[in-house]
Amino acid sequence: MEKNNTQPELNQEAKTLSEEEWKSKLSTDQYRILRQAGTERPFGDIYNDFKNQGKGNYYCAGCGSLLFSSGEKFDSGCGWPSFWDPAESNSVKLRSDDSLGVRRTEVVCATCEGHLGHVFSGEGFETPTDQRYCINGSILVYVPSPSE
């Protein structure tokens, strides 16, 4: 997970980039996750960094869109960054995902349509939405609040 002290520049045209442009813009892991619906390993360094981050916002590494904030962050113990809701209602899109022979709900960036992870409901977490947005930390750019 990248740390940045300023909000990344929003690229509204990101979804029109060619695959070569995406490959030159993103790291190998970010490309595999955002553009090929990959998943990072759980409980890695990125997850440990996430657990130790304070107040701030999380932006898409592909296009700079605001995705999540620390206000909706929680430790689900799953090994990936977890949030109970996006920062803004229109910042992500949900899609049906049957890729593993099981119906899941994929979470994608509403601006660049990059794969972020999956959302799960009804797991019993005591959050306002009873949802767990399980997100790959490699594609998040963390920007701490100015007071951090």
In this model, does residue 1 exceed pLDDT 80? no
Query: 91-132: per-residue pLDDT in tens?
Result: 999 998 877 677 889 999 999 999 999 999 999 998 999 999
The parent domain of residue 134 ranges over 2-144
Cite the beta strand spans of 8-145 per DSSP E: 56-60, 66-69, 73-74, 82-83, 92-97, 104-109, 115-121, 131-135, 140-144
Helix ranges (DSSP H) in the chain: 19-25, 28-34, 45-52
pLDDT digits (tens, 9 = 90+) for 17-70: 999 999 999 999 999 999 999 999 999 999 999 999 999 999 999 999 999 999
Element (H, E) at 3: strand 2-3
Task: Report the number of distinct structural domains present in the chain.
Answer: 1
Q: Which of 60, 63, 112, 134 is catalytic?
A: 134
CATH of the domain at 56: 2.170.150.20
Tell me what pLDDT residue 148 has: 54
Q: What pTM, to 2 d.p., does this model score?
A: 0.92
Q: Is 134 a catalytic residue?
A: yes
Q: What distance in Å separates the CA atoms of residue 34 and residue 61, rounded to the nearest whole number?
A: 9
Q: To which residue do tokens 């619906």 refer?
A: 37
